[in-house]
Structure 1
């Protein structure tokens, strides 16, 4: 029930599959654990098929349904449009929503091309001048351990950043019999492992260090060129299965990245390590409530990586949840995303990451593909 003293934030969501379910849970849950200045209301969800979207609305808690996203944008009872659709639709929906005066939350990566991302960022900049804001959903930066890593780097606890290493490893495509899906078609997904999970790796590196990538040298590979179609026959895979690249941050640090959907046995392994002049940090999503911290200023007798259980009220986000020692999970990152977004909107402030931030990551992805297309030649990233 809406708190009587809080304004409502009426949400219309487009798309209701994996990400739609995660976002729905977050919209329902955030006001129950965080003292939000606005009360989210799940007004309407849109999908192409009436029966499927009606079923999703019932399961996920939405009050109404539409089968055309344009109707969501047009509705007077929608304040924010939440975009959980494939990348080829992001630009059209987001720009229309912003021009209609709706706030926007858009799943990552921001778009399929730099040109689309530029158009979205420009629309967001125009909208922000009218008090209408847009955010791109890089949820892993809201893992409490990752947010703590960012805090420690900003405090100078690791000194000057020298090395960054990020891996994002999955295995759901290792079997050549895995059927074709939209994520394997360039016209819908934009890229494969690069945009799907490599984008998260780029965001984590830039978020934790507070620095941006200035250039890359990359390789991509497609291991299985054709996939079976559900109704019979096969179709050609037109995206990458794996990517590896080197990079340099604007502070001078060296960075290495790997993203693959062919790492057998790795369901959703994200690993981040930052080495600095005064210490190091290491994070592994398979142990997501822990941050490893090495304080290089300690005497050799006691120096070593320290296992920090990131569940204390002093840590980012965790004070809203359970007693210390009771860990959080994947779904909590989306709840934190909603909490941050709603708080920023209520304050009339730009939520982070902005569409401009999403565009910056899109330029990195584009540079990676251009480098890989020229056999790993060093490729500068526009500022």
Structure 2
């Protein structure tokens, strides 16, 4: 702890304090006690619109000061890093302003509500990086130790040539048709529904694990409940309906299903829904290669299923790897083997990686360019769904000026040898 206190400080200002703001606040409070960092984060200021609620949240979550105008928060001399936990409709404006002001940025996923906004953000991030200003998009599930370990196994070639990715993200929090019309169900605030909220996560994970962006998709989406009562109050994913009879239209999808293809030849299937009765936060991904397979289930997030297809058939099969050993990703900061981690730890790991990148003067991952790649997939899914599930290429050229480009390949069917 002495080394932590002797480290230089970096002031953090966060905009938004609901569900994600609470998760991020917990991570900012915890990261320096778990990991050795090149800089010690200081929770300088919290931003929000309503002063009374904002002050209450700041006291509860551990922020030193408050600002009711995000521009004032960015301008504060004690804020060097801006953490954006607002609805997607405000991501671009806040992030670009912060980057242009020379502030590092962490922005929650999805990066934006449109490809055009995401392109502007990626361009601003590239320009800022030339001045040493860093940015990262918050796909926190990459930081689950089992998924980070899965990426290591794939990179080491343990699965061989990748052939098939299947992934799903299932929740049930809007199964009730009387659940109120919160901001996540309005396109002008959320951009899309289950697609952007949940699908963004599994698209990013698939691209992260495979190591290349999707080249095309064929999709369908559905909205099962098209009108809902107006909300009287909401907090996080909970809400209460207005006692009056007024209702409003749902303008986003309840579920999205799509197929995809990777340039290297692997095919993929995706399912995202918020109306799967009995499923709370059920994210699962499985990847099959010609030399092995792996599978991850968020409801058993300290475990990774792994099959080595090079072993003799008489003894080969899936085995459970308990990802809690000291040499597994991120475990050096936590508990003895067998003592599992949870959802909140993924955010702590996110802050760890961001602070290390800033302290080491390098670009963190996932970058705004990575967020743009996800945004382009989401847009292609919506285009496909609106056009009879037609096959729709995902064009990734010009991700960001001067930024890394994904592999170049025409989007034609690929024949993979058996």
Q: TM-score range by the shorter chain?
A: over 0.9
Structure 1 counterpart of 2:249, from 213, 236, 240: 236
Cα distance per residue 1:178-206 (max 9 Å; x no partner): 11100000000000000001000101101
The DSSP-based 3-state class of the residue aligned with 2:169 is strand
1:71 aligns with 2:72: yes
Using the size of structure 2 for normalisation, the TM-score is 0.91
**C-alpha separation in 2, matches of 1:314 and 1:296:** 24
- Across the aligned residues of Structure 1 and Structure 2, the Cα RMSD in angstroms comes to 0.9
**C-alpha separation in 2, matches of 1:81 and 1:4:** 22
**C-alpha separation in 1, matches of 2:189 and 2:209:** 30
**C-alpha separation in 1, matches of 2:22 and 2:77:** 24
Greater shift after overlay, 4-13 or 114-123? Answer: 4-13
**C-alpha separation in 1, matches of 2:265 and 2:313:** 28
**C-alpha separation in 2, matches of 1:60 and 1:148:** 31
Q: Match of 2:28? A: 27
**C-alpha separation in 1, matches of 2:208 and 2:149:** 11
Q: Match of 1:37? A: 38
Cα offset for 1:208?
Answer: 1.0
Greater shift after overlay, 229-238 or 129-138? Answer: 229-238
The DSSP-based 3-state class of the residue aligned with 2:215 is strand
The answer to whether the Cα contact below 8 Å between 2:5 and 2:40 also exists between their aligned partners in 1 is: no
**C-alpha separation in 1, matches of 2:26 and 2:310:** 43
Cα offset for 1:39?
Answer: 0.1
Greater shift after overlay, 303-312 or 225-234? Answer: 225-234
Q: Match of 1:110? A: 111
Q: Match of 1:144? A: 145
The DSSP-based 3-state class of the residue aligned with 2:20 is helix
The DSSP-based 3-state class of the residue aligned with 1:262 is coil
**C-alpha separation in 2, matches of 1:361 and 1:187:** 19
The DSSP-based 3-state class of the residue aligned with 2:102 is coil
The DSSP-based 3-state class of the residue aligned with 1:247 is strand
The DSSP-based 3-state class of the residue aligned with 1:213 is coil
**C-alpha separation in 1, matches of 2:316 and 2:144:** 26
User: What are the equivalent positions in structure 2 for 1:116-135 lying under 5 Å apart?
Assistant: 116-135=117-136
Structure 1 counterpart of 2:360, from 344, 347, 357: 347
**C-alpha separation in 2, matches of 1:5 and 1:250:** 48
Task: Give the number of equivalent residue pairs.
Answer: 383
User: What are the equivalent positions in structure 2 for 1:219-258 lying under 5 Å apart?
Assistant: 219-230=220-231, 231=242, 232=244, 233-258=246-271
Structure 1 counterpart of 2:287, from 263, 266, 274: 274
**C-alpha separation in 1, matches of 2:125 and 2:282:** 33
**C-alpha separation in 2, matches of 1:278 and 1:236:** 49
**C-alpha separation in 1, matches of 2:217 and 2:123:** 25
Q: Match of 1:101? A: 102
Structure 2 counterpart of 1:306, from 299, 319, 325: 319
Q: Match of 1:335? A: 348
Question: Which stretches in structure 1 are left out of the alignment for 5+ residues?
Answer: none
Q: Match of 1:85? A: 86
**C-alpha separation in 2, matches of 1:4 and 1:364:** 43
**C-alpha separation in 2, matches of 1:154 and 1:341:** 22
**C-alpha separation in 1, matches of 2:67 and 2:199:** 32
Cα offset for 1:5?
Answer: 2.6
Q: Match of 1:368? A: 381
Question: Which stretches in structure 2 are left out of the alignment for 5+ residues?
Answer: 232-241, 397-418
Q: Match of 1:161? A: 162
1:205 aligns with 2:218: no
Q: Match of 2:415? A: none
Q: Match of 1:316? A: 329
Using the size of structure 1 for normalisation, the TM-score is 0.99
**C-alpha separation in 2, matches of 1:348 and 1:162:** 36
**C-alpha separation in 1, matches of 2:145 and 2:279:** 22
Structure 2 CA distance for partners of 1:311 and 1:30, relative to 1, 3 Å: same
**C-alpha separation in 2, matches of 1:340 and 1:123:** 21
**C-alpha separation in 1, matches of 2:39 and 2:395:** 38
Q: Match of 1:58? A: 59
Q: Match of 1:182? A: 183
Moved over 2 A (4+): 1-5
**C-alpha separation in 2, matches of 1:286 and 1:75:** 40
The DSSP-based 3-state class of the residue aligned with 1:293 is strand
Cα offset for 1:4?
Answer: 4.3
